Amino acid sequence: MGLFQTNLLIPNMKLSIRALRALSVSRSILGFESNSTSPREKAISGLGAFLGILMVCWVSSFVVRGTDAILVVASMGATAVLLFAVPHGTLSQPWALMGGHFVSALIGVTCARYIPHTYLAAALAVGLAVGVMYWTNCIHPPGGATALTAVLGGESISNLGYWYMINPVLLNTLAILFVAVSFNALFSWRRYPNHFARKQKKPVEALSETGASLTHEDFSAAIARMDSYVDVSADVLAELFEYATKHADEQSTHPQTLTVGAFYSNGQVGYRWCVRELLDMSLTTPYKGEAGQQVIYKNVAGADLYETGLSNVEAFKRWARYEVVLKDGRWLPVKAATH
């Protein structure tokens, strides 16, 4: 290659690199993430949504007529996306579904009835619905549409009053919940609610115990291997892992003494994680002290939930990484919970 050709090639390469960098920045700003789910999974999600909305339309047809019925079904359309495209997501679980729609309907009807200004009532209904769903741990985005419909849904909706909460909202949520449970049960990897999907899965066996460090590519590969839509990016997963690693490094390992009635975690990740309550300790071999003690425990969270077992003290201490307490619905190491 001649010098003249080289001088032309270098500026073109720099221009291509700038273009690729600009494209990457644009994708990041827009939040565009590649979807690694298989065509089969996409087709199943679409079929499930079709069946769910078909059931909802059939139920709604008995209650609300005309264009007002379309508004009611529109709220369920957003729900169908969650239940059939992201069946294992937190926002898709039954409590989020039922609670989110119900409290949003209650708030929407109340705002429509007691706030005369329509726009103010609509905005307040959605804002309050979001806040209450947060406080009641049932965040379900379509609930915002349910609250909005109660205010802007037209005469057929307003005439229902608080009956709107039961019929059509509660009936529709029960109808789509029935389809979600029944349809997803046909596929072992999509069992719904997520509790049943967890029961089907087995712990992933590590290929080695070398403690190889995880990379961004590892998280991307893990998401692809799940073959299910994951509502979180590989970047966020990597950041969570960094925080979790830092938190683990700050905690002391293995309790020196055991206390009856206390809770202990094995500090594992995923399906291996388990919290046990120490129910009792007994001396089975006289004069051997701790070496002769047996502990009775019950699994209260994570793997093998609600199972009980018997172990000697030394084995239990090796299993337990630290003592934990339940605080605000989360299991926290005692050291962290006291700060």
Handedness of CA 142, 146, 151, 157 (dihedral sign): positive
Query: Which residues, 6 or more positions from 270, have their beta carbon under 8 angstroms from its beta carbon?
Result: 203, 204
**Spatial contact of 313 and 258, defined as CB atoms under 8 Å apart:** yes
Instruction: For residue range 35-75, list pLDDT tens digits in order.
Output: 667 889 999 999 999 999 999 888 877 766 666 666 666 78
Residue 151's pLDDT band (cuts 50, 70, 90): very high
- Condensed to tens digits (0 to 9), the pLDDT of residues 229-252 reads 666 666 666 666 777 666 666 655
Question: What are the beta bridge partners of residue 294?
Answer: 282, 312
Residue 95's pLDDT is: 96
What's the pLDDT at 286? 46
CB 132 within 8 A of CB 165: no
Task: Give the Cα separation of 339 and 246 in Å (integer).
Answer: 16
Q: Give the rounded percent of residues in the chain with a pLDDT score beyond 70.
A: 66
Query: How confident is the model at residue 80, as a pLDDT?
Result: 96
Give strand pairing partners of 309: 297
Quick one: tokens of 330?
Answer: 């989360």
Q: Are strands 274-283 and 322-327 parallel, antiparallel or unpaired?
A: unpaired
Task: Look up tokens 């029961």; give the residue.
Answer: 199
At residue 154, φ and ψ (nearest 5 deg) are 100, 180
> What is 162-198 written as a DSSP string?
THHIIIIIIHHHHHHHHHHHHHHTTSGGG-SSHHHHH
CA distances from 84 to 93, 94, 104, 220, 269 (A): 11, 13, 22, 22, 27
Q: For the segment 161-177, what is each residue's pLDDT rounded down to a tens digit?
A: 999 999 889 999 999 99
Tell me the residue type at 65.
R
With 0-12 CB in 10 A as exposed, 13-18 as middle and 19+ as buried, what is 330? exposed
Helix (H) or strand (E) holding 135: helix 118-135
Of 257, 240, 242, 237, the C-alpha closest to 334 is 257
For residues 1-14, average pLDDT: 53
For every residue of 190-239, which 3-state class applies, written as one string?
HCCCHHHHHHHCCCCCCCCCCCCCCCHHHHHHHHHHHCCCCCCCHHHHHH
CB-count burial class (<10 Å; 0-12, 13-18, 19+) for 89: middle
- How many helical (H) and strand (E) elements, i.e. helices and strands, does the chain have? 14, 6
Question: What pLDDT is attached to residue 122?
Answer: 96
